[in-house]
Amino acid sequence: MTAKRASATSPTIWTVLKWTVAILAAVIAVFPVWWMINVVFSEPGQPVSINPRLWPTSLTAGLQTVHVIFAETAYLHAYMVSVCYSVLTIAGVLLFGSAAAFEFALFDFPGRRIIFGIVMLALMVPTAVTIIPTYLLTADLGWLNSMQGLVVPGLASAFGLFMLVQFMRAIPADMIEAARLDGASHLQIYWHVVLPLCRNAMVTLAILTFMQTWGNYMWPLLVGTSPDMYTVGQIVGMFNSPLSHQTVEVVMTANLLAAVPPLIFYLLFQRKIVEGIAMSGTKG
């Protein structure tokens, strides 16, 4: 592109402006997270006039707060609950979603279009209308304050099905036919032919599901009301509640600990996450 070539050779007003805005926007996007880290890793109680928390100043103070939180609160337990909740949800969404998507995308059977259409309609139904009746059903099943109560109602992910069907539609029918002629059973075709081809889509869906489950605040708030079912989101909410009377360093440490898993995932899988979101948006 000529504009880009021109800007590479001679800095124009446009180039300067472009860089200024880009850097400023990056600072605004990143700084709150950076500030959280600084508050955690600074001597507690120092007034902002002495330490404005613009960079981390004390590694030991931060680690000390982390230690105190893990030792004196149920944070570690909530971590376990959140990890279980996420892992089980990912496993279920991938397994049930891929099995159903396999059929909807690659085969024809009576009722296929209607059934798939109904599930796709679900993408448009807001959570607001289902959350209270789903809670009441979960309560009726006696699943309040249980792992199955957290996990099972979220397993039939219409979004996950949609994404996998989109992906599986690209698999050539010849491939399925060839496997069939080689004597592969229906289940073998699913497991040994189609799933390996969908590895990318499955990984992307797993990451998106993780982000969503880890960040889910509303459902655990309703279902996990006893302290031994608290998720990280609820613990963070409690640290932040007006009644907690915790110092800012402690609250920010609680926040940071909740941010660590998604941040690590982001650093490792940035491309997959971005592609997954771009795909869900442009194909939707």
Partner 1 sequence: MHLRRHLPHYLMIAPFMLLFAIFFLFPILSGFYYSFNDWNAVQPAKFVGLANYQKIIASRDFARSMWNLGTYIVITVPLGILVALGLALLVDNFTGRWAHVFRGAYFLPVVLPSFLAATIWRWIYAPNFGLLNMMLGWFGMPSVNFLNNTGSMIYCLIAVDVWASAGFNMIILLAGLKNIPTELYEAARLDGASKWQQIIHITIPMLGPVLFFVVTYGLISAMQVFDKPWLLTGSSFTTYGGRGNALLFPVMDMMGRGFGAVKFGEAAAYGFLLTLAIVMVTALMFVLRSWSDRR
Residues 135-194 that bind partner 1 (CB under 8 A): 135-137, 139, 152-156, 158, 161, 186-187, 190
Among residue numbers 196 through 215, which ones bind partner 1 (CB under 8 A)? 211, 214-215
Interface with partner 1 (CB under 8 A), residue from 9, 10, 13, 29: 29
> For 133, what's the count of Cα atoms within 13 Å in the CB-facing half-sphere?
5
Site string for partner 1, 54-93 (x = CB under 8 A): ----------------------------------------
User: Which residues between 1 and 20 bind partner 1 (CB under 8 A)?
Assistant: 1-4, 14, 18
Nearer to partner 1, 186 or 192 (CB): 186
Least CB distance to partner 1 at residue 223 (A) = 12
Q: Which of 130, 148, 188, 200 binds partner 1 (CB under 8 A)?
A: 130
Residues between 242 and 261 with contacts to partner 1, criterion CB under 8 A: 242, 248, 251-252, 255, 258-259
